[in-house]
């Protein structure tokens, strides 16, 4: 890691690890990875004070490609690992990443509860509307009717909108991005990391292998930006930009200031320790002597 | 002749104050240094319903809950019937039962197990309470007065307990309850002569004792060991660990999260430990099942983690409030792939302290998940303890040296298998860990050669554990006609039965391993060489422990006997004694024939 002179402490390339991505050429996740390097550089994040955690899936390989502390865990559990890291070491920058299957199907319960707690971390969900690593099965964000390897007759299920889910379960910063727009995604990631509380970024990240070349073009065509006067502090306004067929609105849909889980825990800790010295084992045991 | 050892069984409905009676008796005993053990059992109702409590109070050390009650307190025989075969009275017990209950005595005697020598004393509990205190709510306080008078319980302590409980209320409430206590004493006076053999004789000690459950002690042990992160999901019978730590973890500057499920609990524990903080979770069998995938992750990523499994009856929801020893295989082998872990098994309440601290020490030294396999019987019963025995050396997180950080490799293949571990915040120690198989640098790899090498590295760490630690206990003479092997909470009744047998001059011994994986093979082998016949005791219908022992040791052919049954009822001294008697007879017969 070479620190450079001037205002930029770490160049985007400084965050690049020696591992080459296993992703297919043209995978949307490259855009997210590049945006992450840039955002971390913008924020001058010291690599040794950052942890990137993931579950399983194509996008979950990302921690290996960033030269910070990283943890590629088990399927669906990125947020549980991240919870332990952030609660135990609140001073660290903690970023969880993963795909739509990992975060919305097998790990959906953890998304709900991490959002509800408003834990101060960033969750980047790279959404390609398909299971890529297992080679092309239907995912929770696959549009109804789509034929995939596991929906021979077409997908019988409606898709979930990850942003709508995050807003309704308590996330305090929610945005939608597109990996084809690296500039926008960089800005969104930087904003997400800066936010105090649970920041949720749903990045549309096309899968060239299982969704075909057309997914990139199709997404680009329906891409829209939020109106300038969008009131992001208004939950009802934010929910107007959930995914409708034919429109994909990018930008920060929702942002409010609330005490994070960490704020509350630290406050309780301060209250529990106020003016007292740390109890010894003997002090604790003595509370079990007969009470009278 | 007075007695030194008295067991009470108390059964009633919600509102009878059964738990308060037991609690006051045990605390009053602990206050004057007596040895006490209190076990509660409930029906499935959340509130109300039948509840039972047995309290054993003794002037001499005790190791089991007391098979047979010397004193039975029954407010209602219908409730008592629900604990049939679980609560048995001694043949000459003193039975104090509600005078208004019209259940025929013969009907009760059959399941109570009393004989001619029993003393049946109908007590107008309700009437006495109403007359003295003006409310039937004081029934339990009246009962305490009666017991104090008849059985010589520590009066000062009981009065202090009543005063403490009602002192904060209106003066009239306290006065009414104290009147109730005294009315109980006065009523009982005329019966004292009939029950003199049940009068407790003791010399008050100078030091009061602690009164704690295994769960409470595990929680304190975790704090002692430097645990500063706990994540857990409520599950009977382990929730007291979560509850206790929710108060105390912040007081020592740590953090606690009640997660959305057990998957998240173990995930958060692994995350926090990866981040450099000693971490623990506590659960029961069904929760451990959910944690199994990430137990593999902890083994693969080599992250220290402590998991307490308080066993209950299973499978599935099973018997949530009762004990069993049938999570053994799950703890030892529950895994996809070859996932090394260490399994420790506390055998009594005090052990919960030492086993939990040892679990942290081993986890930190070897970067392995360590399971503390407790069970409901030791986790939820309350037992008196001396503060003095509760200390244990603590091993801190191992910090990499400057040399190790030079060209740092997280999973460097060392002689012991243990590699230097950095954590976030350490400059130059950055690494990416993986549930995927990985090479020494942590880079994912699917190569057979890497897998073989790293499996060997991870399993080699168990040798360090085996060489350094050998937790087991033995009781009885070095060379014995009969040896007993058991684990966990079965130890209490086994130890008591062995000591009684030794008192009769019988050469009986016991071996109780407290580390189940890796198993103290050499010590066990040595033990077997000194015994002729062998009995294995366990509360597992499919005999998991017996079968496990057979995987690495040829048990004496034709000389090995097995006592196994389902949990749901704790092992009793009587069951152990009965089996000892039979096997000793077989041994003697065989010797006669062979001579």
Per-residue pLDDT tens, chain A, 292 aa: give them.
444 444 568 999 999 999 999 999 999 999 999 999 999 999 999 999 999 999 999 999 999 999 999 999 999 999 999 999 999 999 999 999 999 999 999 999 999 999 999 999 999 999 999 999 999 999 999 999 999 999 999 999 999 999 999 999 999 999 999 999 999 999 999 999 999 999 999 999 999 999 988 888 989 999 999 999 999 999 999 999 988 778 889 999 999 999 999 999 999 999 999 988 899 999 999 999 998 8
Residue A139 within any structural domain of the chain: yes
| CATH code of residue B257 | 3.40.50.970
Do A74 and B297 lie within an 8 Å CB cutoff?
A: yes
Place B51 in a pLDDT band, splitting at 50, 70 and 90: confident
Contact B268 A81 (CB under 8 A): yes
- Using the 3D structure, point to which of B183, B208, B233 is the last residue of a domain: B208
SS (H, E, C) B82-109: CCCCCCEEEEEEEEEEECCCCCCHHHHH
Q: What is the pLDDT of residue B338?
A: 98
Q: What is the rounded CA–CA span in Å between residue B257 and residue B310? A: 19
- Distance of residue B594 Cα from the nearest chain A Cα, in angstroms: 57
| B506 domain-assigned | yes
The residue among B389, B412, B429 that closes a domain is B389
Question: pLDDT tier at B205 (50, 70, 90 boundaries)?
Answer: confident
CATH code, B554:
3.40.50.920
Our CA-based measurement puts residue A273 at a distance from the nearest CA of chain B, in whole angstroms, of 5
Range of the domain at B437: 402-468
Chain B residues with CB inside 8 Å of A269's CB? 250, 253, 255
Q: Looking at CA atoms only, how far is residue A77 from chain B in angstroms? A: 7
**Whether residues B23 and B62 fall in one domain:** yes
Average pLDDT over chain B, rounded to an integer: 95
pLDDT of amino acid B111 = 85
Which residues, at least 6 apart from B561, have a Cβ–Cβ distance to it below 8 Å?
B533, B534, B535, B536, B579, B583
Domain with A105 in it: what CATH number? Answer: 3.40.50.970
Contact A48 B252 (CB under 8 A): no
Residues A185-221 as b or e (16 or more Cβ within 10 Å = b): bbbbbbbbbebebbbbbbbbbbbbbbbeeebbeebee
Q: What is the pLDDT of residue A2?
A: 43
Instruction: Name which of A281, A283, A286, A287 to mutate to probe chain B: the one with the most chain B Cβ atoms within 10 A of its Cβ.
Output: A281
Residue A197, both tokens: 């509380």
A–B interface: beta-carbon pairs under 8 A: 200
If we measure between CA atoms, which residue out of B187, B151, B309 comes closest to residue B237? B309
Q: Which residue of B has its CA nearest to A62?
A: B432
Q: Is the confidence at residue B80, as pLDDT, over 70?
A: yes
Tell how many helices (H) and how many strands (E) occur in chain B: 20, 21
**In chain B, how many domains are there?**
4
pTM of the model: 0.96
Give me the pLDDT at residue B110, please. 86
Q: Give the DSSP per-residue string, A14-75.
A: GGB-SPPP-PPTT-THHHHHHHHHHHHHHTT--GGGEEEEE-SSSGGGGGGGBSSEEEE-ST
**What's the pLDDT score for residue A4?**
46
Among A46, A70, A77, the residue with its CB nearest the CB of B433 is A70
pLDDT above 90 covers a percentage of chain B that reads 88
Q: Give the span between the Cα atoms of A172 and B451, in whole angstroms.
A: 43
Per the domain annotation, does B240 fall within a domain? Answer: yes
CB contact under 8 A, B424 and A110: no
Cα first-last separation, chain B = 45
Return the pLDDT at B106.
87
Q: Give residue A189's pLDDT.
A: 98
Measure A290 CA to nearest chain B CA, in Å: 5
Query: Which residue among B164, B271, B430 places its CB closest to the CB of A84?
Result: B271
The shortest CB-CB distance from B430 to any of A47, A73, A290 is to A47
Tracing tokens 């045991």 back to the chain, one arrives at: A285
The answer to whether residue B396 sits within a structural domain is: no
The per-residue pLDDT for A1 is: 41
B203 and B220 co-located in one domain: no
Closest CA of chain B from A108, distance in Å = 11
Taking CB atoms and an 8 Å limit, are B251 and A272 in contact across chains? yes
pLDDT category at B44 given cuts 50, 70, 90 is: low
Q: Does residue B122 share a domain with residue B161?
A: yes
pLDDT, position B595: 62
A90: in domain? yes
Least confident of B41-50, B71-80, B206-215, B271-280: B41-50
User: For residue B235, is it within any domain?
Assistant: yes
In this complex, do B261 and A109 lie within 8 Å of one another by their Cβ atoms? yes
Q: Are residues B229 and B132 in the same domain?
A: no
> What are the chain A neighbours of B208 within 8 Å (beta carbons)?
289-290
pLDDT at residue B47 is higher than 70: no
Q: Cβ separation of B260 and A289 shorter than 8 Å?
A: no
Residue B317: count other Cβ atoms within 10 Å of its Cβ: 11
Q: Report chain A residues whose CB lies below 8 A from the CB of B260.
A: 109-110, 112-113
In a domain, B394, yes or no: no
Residues B443 and B485 in one domain: no
Let me know if residue A5 belongs to a domain. no
Question: Residue B84 has what pLDDT?
Answer: 82
Domain ranges, residue A65: 12-286
**CB-based contact A175:A200 (threshold 8 Å):** yes
The fraction of chain B above a pLDDT of 70, given in percent, is 99
Contact A63 B257 (CB under 8 A): no
Domain count, chain A: 1
Residues B138 and B223 in one domain: no
| B397, part of any domain | no
With residue A178 as reference, give the H or E element that holds it: strand A173-178
């Amino acid at each position: 890691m070479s620190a450079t002179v001037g205002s930029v402490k770490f160049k985007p390339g400084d965050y690049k690890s020696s591992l080459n991505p296993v992703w297919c050429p043209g995978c949307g996740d490259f855009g997210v990875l590049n945006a992450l390097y840039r955002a971390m550089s913008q924020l001058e994040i010291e690599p040794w004070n950052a942890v990137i955690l993931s579950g399983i899936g194509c996008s979950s390989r990302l921690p290996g490609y960033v030269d910070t502390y990283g943890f590629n865990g088990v399927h669906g559990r990125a947020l549980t690992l991240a919870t332990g890291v952030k609660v135990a070491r609140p001073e660290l920058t903690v970023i969880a990443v993963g795909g739509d299957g990992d975060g919305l199907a097998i790990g959906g319960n953890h998304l709900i509860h991490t959002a509800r707690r408003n834990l101060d971390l960033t969750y980047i969900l790279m959404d390609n509307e398909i299971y890529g690593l297992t080679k092309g099965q239907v995912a929770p964000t696959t549009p109804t009717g789509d034929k995939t390897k596991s929906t021979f007759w077409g997908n019988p299920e409606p898709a979930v909108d990850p942003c709508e889910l995050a807003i309704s379960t308590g996330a305090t910063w929610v945005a939608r991005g597109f990996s084809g727009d690296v500039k926008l995604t960089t800005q969104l990631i930087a904003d997400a990391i800066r936010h105090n509380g649970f920041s949720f970024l749903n990045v549309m990240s096309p899968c060239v292998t299982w969704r075909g070349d057309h997914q990139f073009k199709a997404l680009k065509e329906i891409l829209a930006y939020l109106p300038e006067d969008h009131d992001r502090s208004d939950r009802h306004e934010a929910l107007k930009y959930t995914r409708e067929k034919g429109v994909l609105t990018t930008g920060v849909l929702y942002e409010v200031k609330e005490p994070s889980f960490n704020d509350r825990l630290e406050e309780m800790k301060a209250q529990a320790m106020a003016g007292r010295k740390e109890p010894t084992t003997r002090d604790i045991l003595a509370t079990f002597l007969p009470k009278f | 002749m007075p007695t030194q050892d008295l067991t009470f069984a108390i059964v009633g409905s919600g509102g009878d104050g059964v738990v308060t009676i037991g609690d006051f008796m045990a605390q009053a005993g602990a206050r004057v240094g007596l040895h006490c053990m209190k076990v509660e059992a409930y029906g499935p109702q959340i509130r109300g319903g039948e509840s039972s409590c047995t309290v054993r109070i003794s002037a001499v050390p005790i190791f089991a809950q007391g098979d047979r009650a010397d004193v039975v307190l029954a407010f209602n025989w219908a409730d008592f019937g629900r604990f049939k075969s679980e609560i048995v009275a001694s043949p000459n017990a003193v039975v104090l039962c509600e005078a208004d209950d019209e259940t025929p005595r013969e009907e009760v005697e059959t399941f109570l197990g009393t004989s001619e020598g029993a003393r049946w004393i109908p007590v107008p509990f309700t009437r006495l309470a109403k007359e003295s205190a003006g409310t039937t709510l004081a029934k339990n306080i009246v009962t305490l007065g009666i017991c104090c008078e008849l059985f010589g319980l520590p009066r000062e302590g009981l009065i202090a307990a009543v005063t403490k409980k009602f002192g904060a209320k209106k003066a009239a409430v306290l006065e009414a309850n104290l009147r109730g206590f005294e009315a109980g004493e006065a009523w009982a006076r005329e019966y004292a002569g009939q029950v003199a053999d049940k009068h407790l004789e003791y010399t008050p000690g100078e030091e009061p004792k602690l009164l704690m459950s295994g769960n409470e002690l595990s929680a304190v042990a975790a704090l002692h060991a430097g645990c500063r992160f706990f994540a857990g999901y409520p599950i009977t019978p382990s929730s007291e660990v979560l509850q206790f730590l929710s108060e105390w973890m912040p007081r020592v500057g740590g953090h606690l999260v009640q997660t959305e499920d057990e998957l998240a609990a173990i995930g958060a524990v692994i995350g926090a430990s990866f981040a450099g903080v000693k971490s623990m979770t506590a659960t029961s069998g069904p929760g451990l099942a959910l944690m199994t995938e990430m137990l593999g992750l902890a083994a693969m990523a080599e992250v220290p983690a402590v998991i307490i499994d308080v066993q209950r009856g299973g499978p599935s929801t099973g018997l949530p409030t009762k004990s069993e020893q049938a999570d053994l295989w799950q703890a030892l082998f529950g895994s996809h792939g070859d996932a090394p872990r260490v399994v420790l098994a506390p055998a009594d309440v005090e052990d919960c302290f030492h086993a939990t601290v040892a679990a942290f020490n081993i986890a930190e030294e070897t970067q392995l998940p360590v399971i503390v396999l407790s069970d409901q019987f030791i986790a939820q019963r309350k037992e008196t303890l001396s503060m003095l025995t509760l200390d244990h050396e603590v091993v801190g997180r191992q910090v990499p040296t400057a040399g190790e950080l030079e060209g740092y490799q997280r999973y460097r293949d060392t002689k012991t298998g243990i590699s230097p571990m950095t954590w976030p915040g350490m400059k130059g120690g950055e690494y990416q860990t993986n549930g995927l198989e990985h090479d020494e640098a942590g880079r994912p790899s699917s190569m057979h050669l890497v897998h073989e090498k790293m499996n060997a590295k991870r399993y080699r760490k168990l040798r360090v554990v085996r060489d350094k630690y050998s937790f087991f206990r033995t009781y009885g003479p070095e060379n014995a006609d009969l040896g007993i092997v058991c684990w966990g909470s079965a130890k209490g009744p086994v130890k008591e039965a062995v000591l009684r047998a030794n008192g009769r001059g019988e050469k009986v011994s016991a071996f109780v391993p407290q580390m189940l994986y890796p198993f103290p093979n050499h010590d066990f082998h040595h033990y077997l060489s000194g015994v002729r016949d062998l009995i294995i005791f366990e509360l597992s219908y499919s005999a998991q422990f017996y079968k496990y022992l057979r995987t690495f040791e040829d048990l004496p052919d034709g000389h090995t006997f097995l006592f196994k049954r389902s949990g749901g009822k704790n092992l009793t001294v009587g069951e152990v004694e009965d089996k000892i008697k039979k096997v000793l007879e077989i041994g003697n017969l065989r010797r006669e024939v062979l001579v």
